[in-house]
Amino acid sequence: MSSDFRNDEEPCQSDYHSAFHLTSLSDNIPAQSNSNSTGNDTQLSVPQEFFYVKDIKFKNNDYRIVLQSVNGPCPIIAIVNVLILKNEITIDKTTYISAGDLCSLLANYILDKCNSSDKVHKEQYTIDSLDRFVQIQTGIDINVKFNSAEGFEYTQELALFDFLSIRLVHGWLYDPQDKLLLQLVSDLSYNQLVEKALTLQSSKNDEDVSNYVVLKDFLETAQLTVHGICEIINALHDEEVAVLFRNNHFSTISKQDSRLFLLVTDIGWKDETSVVWETLDSTTNCTSFVDGSFMPSEPGSSGGSCVGKGLVATKDEAHALGLTEDELKQQQQLWKEAKVHLSYRERVSRVD
């Protein structure tokens, strides 16, 4: 996707080609982004980074998941964590894993899956599968459709999710009861809708201008609606683990007892063993943390880092705690700096 809607958040992978930015529709917006990768490029270009590995409990079983750093390759991390929780791959007992080893782990899994397949043209099938894997390291073109939680324009990169039997979902959906949005958006993709908005913006017709404002507001949402949450719940099977695309980020998501939970992979929670998932019940930041059994958890109870949502005092709370104004300002500044490292916070731009 490409757009000039922007905000100031950092992309989850700085080396990725970022084309989903939100600012204003007043500038020209290309309909499709250029990818940094080519179909013939089979060389792995892996940044020399390391990612923390965290031990968690998930339904009474022990797992080691990969944590997200500020510039980590979130599509790969999300995919690997899904495969880990599905008992498809495991990570050796270690404190961290290099980006190269992470990619090798997934590449070897893809090779094993290809070798065990009954495809007639197995060699070409293997080459195609590895090509898709190479492409997601350097860029993923995401072009969502707004009428389905699984609505994405097909690309070779996204075919890897199908090959790995991992569902990719999003919650940026219009409510079909909103007749105007239903009429304006229908089954258009993101790129098509941006083009339509630009056309309406340049019109001198009052109705067109009014419709442009409606589309602009929809395109500048946080890419999640109440209807979108309901549709993700309807799309996923209970206890299924999948990947969610939202706000410049790919996250591991699971449905448990008709509720949605996001795997907490932010490095700020690496020492908090009781913090494993966070709820996805609303379009706001009002979420709660739960442990591996999906029971409410209390950040800080395991003696680790307590950087997280809601951990900075309000003015009323500061007064109750006896904090001075300077102490409150210092706490707020620390929280502001800490949020830079929390990759699941609100981001509105596209990840490649």
Phi, psi of 227 (to 5 degrees): -60, -35
Query: Strand pairing partners for 238?
Result: none
Known catalytic residue: 249? Answer: yes
Instruction: Give the residue ranges of DSSP H helices in the chain.
Output: 74-85, 99-115, 122-138, 159-163, 179-185, 190-201, 206-219, 226-235, 315-321, 325-339
Q: Which residues are within 8 A (CB) of 319 and not within 5 positions of it... i.e. 6 or more apart?
A: none
Instruction: Kindly state the DSSP code that residue 336 receives in the 8-state scheme.
Output: H
Q: Would you give the DSSP letter of residue 346? A: -
Phi first, then psi: what are they for 80, rounded to 5°? -60, -45
Among the listed residues 17, 170, 227, 249, the single catalytic one is: 249
H runs (alpha helix) in 122-252: 122-138, 159-163, 179-185, 190-201, 206-219, 226-235
| Catalytic residue chosen out of the listed positions 17, 21, 74, 103 | 74
Does the active-site annotation cover 306? no
CA 77 to CA 59: how far, in whole Å? 21
DSSP, collapsed to helix, strand or coil, labels residue 326 as: helix
Contact predicate 172/221, CB 8 Å = yes
Catalytic residue ranges: 74, 249
